[in-house]
Amino acid sequence: MTGNVEEQELKDRLSLIETMIAEGRRSTGSWGWNFVLWGVAYYVAIAWATWGHSTLAWPVTMIAASLITVALGARFARKHPGTTIGRAISSVWIAVGISMFVLLLALGIQGLLEQQIFMGIVAAMLGTANATSSMILKWKAQFVCTLVWWITSAVCVLGTPTQSTIALLAAIFLCQIVFGSYMMIVEARERRQVTRNA
């Protein structure tokens, strides 16, 4: 009899974990707009730095994208209750974002930041955030983005400057713009499904 109770308790716990993961994936999916926003911000910073030859391009663009994310994220948070997994995923992205900003800004100020190393660091850290999110959420599509970022990181450091630039631009398109759009489409479908079922 005790074995049946323990077995049922284990099944209940597994069911709860699966429900939490599914809810985390749904709440993360509703942040697809943020992936697109940051993809556009990266393109703006790259274009400004390249054609405007400004050292302010990256810090100004990243701060602006951060402020937009906070403003829109606060509006989103009021409409959707937070989950434990959602807070964990947000924490990972915030920590990686702050780490990237502090490290890259400090390296840039000291003149220690060569373009290919800069691109390699950005790709590796974005790969880390995507990897963590995809492992927590058991989301294969996001793990594909992880692999793209990690490959891009290696290409940025090992390839020519032209290969590095092409790899980074392609990764931004695939892992920010395309993946973010995919997330928004999936979230819209789920919202329509919930509306139909209600």
5: region left, alpha or beta (phi > 0 left; psi from -120 to 50 alpha)? alpha
The Cβ of residue 140 has, within 10 Å, a number of other Cβ atoms equal to 8
Helices 57-79, 32-52: crossing angle, 10 deg rounding: 170
The pLDDT tens digits of the residues spanning 10-64 come to 666 656 556 555 555 555 667 899 999 999 999 999 999 989 878 888 889 999 9
The pLDDT tens digits of the residues spanning 83-92 come to 788 888 889 9
Dist CA 65 CA 107 (whole Å): 21
pTM: 0.82
Q: What is the CA radius of gyration of the chain?
A: 19
Task: Render 145-160 in DSSP notation, one character per residue.
Answer: HHHHHHHHHHHHHHS-
Q: Return the pLDDT at 193.
A: 82
Q: Return the pLDDT at 56.
A: 87
The pLDDT tens digits of the residues spanning 167-181 come to 999 999 999 999 999
The Cβ of residue 8 has, within 10 Å, a number of other Cβ atoms equal to 10
Residue type, 109: I
The stretch 152-160 carries a mean pLDDT of 97
Dist CA 11 CA 15 (whole Å): 6
Ordered by start, the domain boundaries in the chain are 22-193
Q: Return the pLDDT at 127.
A: 97
Q: What letter does residue 178 receive in the DSSP assignment?
A: I
